Copies of this chain bind each other. A is one copy, B any other.
């Protein structure tokens, strides 16, 4: 498959849907809706929604029904970036080469834009206009999975431990693993699982997809850690080496760059292995996993 063309096509599909789902800038309160759209359309690669759609397709589902959940995952991801960038958190002025939300709209609106995006995600997945063709118990299971992975036992929990570990000299591998599987891994796993659930997967198939999601989620974050060291500022969209400068808990910091590279490859192998029982219908998931680990921007 032509991965580049596939990603471009799926990205455009997600962008168009997001544009339709998000509140308009011409609706009150203008500043809030402008701020929400600013960060959602700030050049994200749509990794989570694309994984969700690919997962749904892999298990034989109708990806049209998965579009709202895919967009919901991107809204949750975007809210987490807006809040992470705040002065009280990572205090970042730039993201993907653009000024961060609070630099443009001020801290208060940035906090509220994040809050509204998180809320909007749950509104979207439960919207009767889009939910009608899905099974209600299935949708409830998806909402519960997303909320579990995004909350205090998932993404938010990972962010807290990440922050509290910053600058500590004695971080061990277990802590870095906790941070990565929670802060980044949980939402990626949730995307893959939600896609499979919408596609009607259960039993062995759902278990395989879940294992794939966990491995890809961890591989993604280790690759990100490595990119922070090896990438150029232009490639990363913010200052290269900023993790090191901040004393962030990362794989390279704990085990060295070479071992971190091996670990990312091991996770990629595990993700591919998890899909063993599947044929060519899982090729998109396999290709996305490779792309996630080997990407340079």
Interchain CB contact under 8 A, B112 and A115: no
Distance A32 CA – B156 CA, assembled complex (angstroms): 9
The chain B residue with its CB closest to the CB of A141 is: B128
Could you say which residues of chain B place their CB within 8 Å of the CB of A151? 116, 119-120, 123
Among the stretches A1-9, A159-167, A213-221, A271-279, the one at the interface with B is A159-167
Interface size on A, as a range, is 35 or more
User: Cβ of A122 and Cβ of B120 under 8 Å apart?
Assistant: no
- The residue in chain B whose Cβ has the minimal distance to the Cβ of A162 is B29
A211-249 near B? 1/0 per residue, CB < 8 Å: 000000000000000000000000000000000000000
* Given A115-B114, A126-B147, A140-B136; A120-B152 close (CB under 8 Å): yes
In the complex, the answer to whether A83 meets B109 with C-beta atoms within 8 Å is no
B178 touching A28, Cβ below 8 Å: yes
Q: Does A63 contact B (CB under 8 A)?
A: no
Of B27, B141, B147, B160, the contact of A119 (CB 8 Å cutoff): B147
CB-CB contacts below 8 Å: A35-54 with B: 36
A265 CB to closest chain B CB (Å) equals: 29
| A79 CB contacts on chain B under 8 angstroms | 115
Chain A 108-138 residues near chain B, CB threshold 8 A: 108-109, 111-112, 114-116, 118-120, 122-123, 126-128, 131, 136-137
A15 within 8 A of B: no
Closest to A161 in B: B29
CB distance from A107 to the nearest CB of B (A): 4
As a 0/1 sequence over residues 157 to 193 of chain A, the CB contacts with chain B under 8 angstroms (1 = contact) are 1011101100000000000001000000000000000
- Whether B119 contacts A156 by the Cβ 8 Å rule is yes
A288 interface hit (Cβ, 8 Å)? no
Asked if A153 lies at the interface with its beta carbon under 8 angstroms from chain B, I say yes
Q: Does A286 contact B (CB under 8 A)?
A: no
Q: Which residues of A contact B (CB under 8 A)?
A: 23, 27-29, 31-33, 36, 79, 83, 86, 88-89, 106-109, 111-112, 114-116, 118-120, 122-123, 126-128, 131, 136-137, 139-141, 143-144, 147-148, 150-153, 156-157, 159-161, 163-164, 178
Apart from A115-B118, A116-B151, A126-B147, what are 6 other A-B pairs with CB-CB below 8 Å?
A23-B152, A29-B152, A29-B157, A31-B160, A88-B111, A126-B143
Can you list 21 residue pairs at the A/B interface with Cβ under 8 Å? Answer: A23-B152, A32-B157, A83-B115, A86-B111, A88-B106, A88-B107, A89-B111, A111-B111, A112-B156, A118-B119, A119-B150, A120-B147, A122-B122, A122-B147, A123-B144, A123-B148, A136-B139, A136-B140, A139-B140, A140-B140, A143-B143
